[in-house]
Amino acid sequence: MKISTAESVIMGALWTREPLSAEDISAQVAEGQGWSEATVKTLINRLLNKGAIGAERDGRRYLYRPLLARAGYVEAESQGLLDRLFDGRLAPLVSHLSQARKLTPEDIAELKKLIEGFEP
């Protein structure tokens, strides 16, 4: 399932707290994005049509919750990035990031710990 950048902002709000009404989502994301409430509702409808979120009636409004797990989304997006830009290989991505941005000592320690976890 392909989620646009704008739609991912809505998903982020729902992954943080659920369920939320359209008004709650709008209050959380609209101002920071420069969106109207109508834009937020359009994005919600797109996500409903894609099956990424579900809705349940709560009186005169609907409450929305994610059906797409954040972990699954992050995995798919990460793999897509690796495939598109680095032929599916992780080492060139890490190399690029280390050259483009200064790695902190904490970053280096985390990477070493991850690598040690892969070694027999």
Residues 61, 107 within the same domain: no
Helix (H) or strand (E) holding 65: strand 61-66
Total tally of structural domains belonging to the chain: 2
**Is 18 inside any structural domain?**
yes
**Is 72 inside any structural domain?**
no
Residues 10, 45 within the same domain: yes
Residues 22, 60 within the same domain: yes
User: Residue 117 above 90 pLDDT?
Assistant: no
Strand partners, 66: 53
Residues 10, 60 within the same domain: yes
pTM beyond 0.85 = no
pLDDT band at residue 24 using 50, 70 and 90 as cut-offs: very high
Q: What is the mean pLDDT of the chain?
A: 93
Q: Kindly report the CATH number assigned to the domain that includes residue 35.
A: 1.10.10.10
For the chain, percent of residues with pLDDT exceeding 90: 75
The pLDDT tens digits for 57-101 are: 999 999 999 999 999 999 989 999 999 999 999 889 888 888 888
Query: Which among 65, 73, 61 is positioned nearest to 15, based on CA atoms?
Result: 65
Please report the pLDDT score of residue 97 as a whole number.
Answer: 83
**Is 80 inside any structural domain?**
no
User: Residue 119 above 80 pLDDT?
Assistant: no
User: Residue 120 above 70 pLDDT?
Assistant: no
**Is 26 inside any structural domain?**
yes
Residues 21, 59 within the same domain: yes
The pLDDT tens digits for 103-113 are: 888 988 998 89
| Range(s) of the domain holding residue 45 | 5-66
Average pLDDT over residues 40-52: 98
To 5 degrees, how large is the angle CA 8–CA 14–CA 19? 155
Residues 11, 62 within the same domain: yes
Q: What are phi and psi of 113, to 5 degrees?
A: -65, -40
Q: Which long-range contacts (CB under 8 A, 24 or more apart) does 76-83 make?
A: none
**Is 33 inside any structural domain?**
yes
Strand, coil or helix: 88 = coil
